[in-house]
Amino acid sequence: MIKHDIEKVGAMFEIPGDFIFAERYGSGHINETYSVEYNQGGTTIRYIFQLINKFVFKNPEKLMDNIYRVTSHIHEKLKIAGDKSRHTLTVIKSNDNLPYAIDENGNYWRVYVFVEKAKTYDIIETPDQAYQAARAFGEFQKMLVDLPGGRLFETIKDFHNTPKRVERLKEVIAEDKLGRVKECQAEIDFVMSRIDDTEKLIQLQEAGKIPERITHNDTKLNNVMLDYLTGEGICVIDLDTVMPGLVHYDFGDLVRTSTSPAAEDEQDLSKVYMQFDMFEAILRGYMAGAGEFLNETEKKLLPFSGKLIPLEIGVRFLTDHLEGDVYFRIHRDDHNLDRCRTQFKLVESIEEQYDKMMELLESI
Ligand code: ADP
Ligand code: GN1
Ligand code: MG
């Protein structure tokens, strides 16, 4: 991995004080994140530096314009409510007054205020955490219902277009450039027997039954910070994919990442399943945050999205495995295949509990 001179990166931004120390941070699959300390008047202040992944995000300037618009809008709302410093990301401007800076190698960097006294979790531990995460993402959607300034830029086109994700899977199966298809037949069959599910949301959107909204699109549990002391979901982060979408993409990814007691890359599949109490907490939390603006069809499809999104992300992990791990950062052989298998195991567990999920929704 290339070593970056983080002190030099920091010098491109309007950060007062003296650089002390930087270290790699977090467990995201896409960007390169650093925690960076400065001495400001004798106190240590931390920032988050991120190298934006240019392979994944082809237009970092428009992406940062989205993030700046979204965070400024939320800041305005929070100003009225009287508390803003830890409740949304704060973008630090560059010396050129831009929300990013470009280093001598053409890399795009951004800097955020470090949200202190809060943390992210990779694995859900309690229903209260699930409730808090879901409420925070629901509220995030609600705050963006009236975002001014026109449609947000689509940072990744067709990001949650499940049928297109399946088409891409079929292409890499046909290419089979690493000869891995033979060991993945069970996973491929799993997808092909669920084609109807993969088409449902897009068809309903095209039929005008569910509206486009502004959604986060990557609501995994470690993209929301919970307060250390109170456990409250205080700050939604990782805003690269905030763009037009369906609310179900966000609800579904919460179910995907916040109901199983196992890690996304767990190899012992007996540990992977949907805990119903976590699903209930997500549903109640999300409705507390977003319930007031959803239409009836949107509400009815929430449980469905809980099985669709793990299926879709499993398709993406499988595609990347067959293609040679070009997208998601891996840390061991077959890492993306392991990730795919947990997703499909979770889909099965959700399918088994689906009737109960629908009953719960109707009772709320
Ligand atoms: P990726 O796109 O790679 O997932 P994220 O934006 O999610 O990158 O950042 C990775 C991790 O860094 C997060 O899961 C979180 O723990 C931490 N992090 C990101 N932004 C902040 C912030 N402003 N304050 C504190 N921690 C942060
Ligand atoms: C990536 O960036 P991160 O790690 O929060 C991915 C998501 C996947 C997720 C799977 C831009 O999220 O779409 O659901 O991995 N982000 C992008 O863990 O592709
Ligand atoms: Mg992330």
**Ligand 2 pocket, residue 217 CB under 6 Å:** no
Over the stretch 54-73, which tens digit does the pLDDT of each residue have? 999 999 999 999 999 999 99
The rounded distance, in Å, linking the Cα atoms of 237 and 114 is 11
Burial of 296 (0-12, 13-18, 19+ CB in 10 A): exposed
SS3 of residue 338 by DSSP: helix
The band of 3, judged by pLDDT with boundaries at 50, 70 and 90, is confident
Residue 185, token pair as written in the block? 């037949």
Q: Which pLDDT value is given to residue 297?
A: 97
Strand partners, 18: 39
**Ligand 2 pocket, residue 30 CB under 6 Å:** yes
Q: Is the pLDDT of residue 78 over 90?
A: no
Q: Which pLDDT value is given to residue 277?
A: 98
The CA distances from residue 55 to 126, 137, 156, 326, in Å, are 36, 27, 11, 9
**Ligand 1 pocket, residue 222 CB under 6 Å:** yes
The rounded distance, in Å, linking the Cα atoms of 316 and 215 is 20
DSSP 8-state symbol, 51 = E
Closest ligand 2 atom, CA of 238?
Answer: 5
Tell the residue nearest (CA) to atom 12 of ligand 1: 26
**Ligand 2 pocket, residue 56 CB under 6 Å:** yes
The band of 141, judged by pLDDT with boundaries at 50, 70 and 90, is very high
Enumerate residues with CB within 5 Å of ligand 3 (an ion). Answer: 28, 223, 238
Cβ-Cβ contacts under 8 Å for 42 (sequence gap 6 or more): none
Distance in Å, CA 238 to ligand 1 centroid: 6
Over the stretch 228-276, which tens digit does the pLDDT of each residue have? 999 999 999 999 999 999 999 999 999 999 999 999 999 999 999 999 9
Look up the CATH number of domain 127-363.
3.90.1200.10
Q: Is the pLDDT of residue 8 over 80?
A: yes
Q: What is the mean pLDDT of the chain?
A: 96
**Ligand 2 pocket, residue 339 CB under 6 Å:** no
Distance in Å, CA 29 to ligand 1 centroid: 11
Closest ligand 2 atom, CA of 217?
Answer: 13
Residue 333, token pair as written in the block? 């052989």
Distance in Å, CA 102 to ligand 3 centroid: 22
Q: Is the pLDDT of residue 112 over 80?
A: yes
Ligand 2 pocket check: which of 25, 27, 29, 265 to mutate, most ligand atoms within 8 Å of Cβ? 29
Over the stretch 13-57, which tens digit does the pLDDT of each residue have? 999 999 999 999 998 889 999 999 999 999 999 999 999 999 999
Its pTM stands at: 0.97
User: How is the chain split into domains, by residue range?
Assistant: 6-116, 127-363
**Ligand 2 pocket, residue 216 CB under 6 Å:** no
**Ligand 2 pocket, residue 245 CB under 6 Å:** no
Find the mean pLDDT for residues 110-115: 97
Closest ligand 2 atom, CA of 27?
Answer: 4
- Candidates 3.80.10.10, 3.30.200.20, 1.20.1250.20, 3.30.565.10; CATH matching 6-116: 3.30.200.20
Contact between 89 and 239 under an 8 Å Cβ cutoff? The reply is: yes
- Backbone φ and ψ of 304, nearest 5°: -60, -40
Strand partners, 36: 22, 47
The rounded distance, in Å, linking the Cα atoms of 312 and 168 is 12
Burial of 319 (0-12, 13-18, 19+ CB in 10 A): buried
Kindly report the number of other CB atoms within 10 A of residue 68's CB atom.
Answer: 18
SS3 of residue 230 by DSSP: coil
Distance in Å, CA 118 to ligand 1 centroid: 12
CA dihedral 61, 65, 66, 68 (to 10 degrees): 130
Is-same-fold flag (6-116; 127-363)?
no
Q: Is the pLDDT of residue 82 over 70?
A: no
Contact between 252 and 313 under an 8 Å Cβ cutoff? The reply is: no
The band of 81, judged by pLDDT with boundaries at 50, 70 and 90, is low
Q: Which pLDDT value is given to residue 28?
A: 85
- Percent share of the chain, pLDDT over 70: 99
**Ligand 1 pocket, residue 223 CB under 6 Å:** yes
The rounded distance, in Å, linking the Cα atoms of 165 and 266 is 23
Q: Please give the single-letter amino acid code of residue 308.
A: L
Q: Is the pLDDT of residue 154 over 90?
A: yes
**Ligand 2 pocket, residue 250 CB under 6 Å:** no
Q: Which pLDDT value is given to residue 85?
A: 76
Q: Is the pLDDT of residue 216 over 80?
A: yes
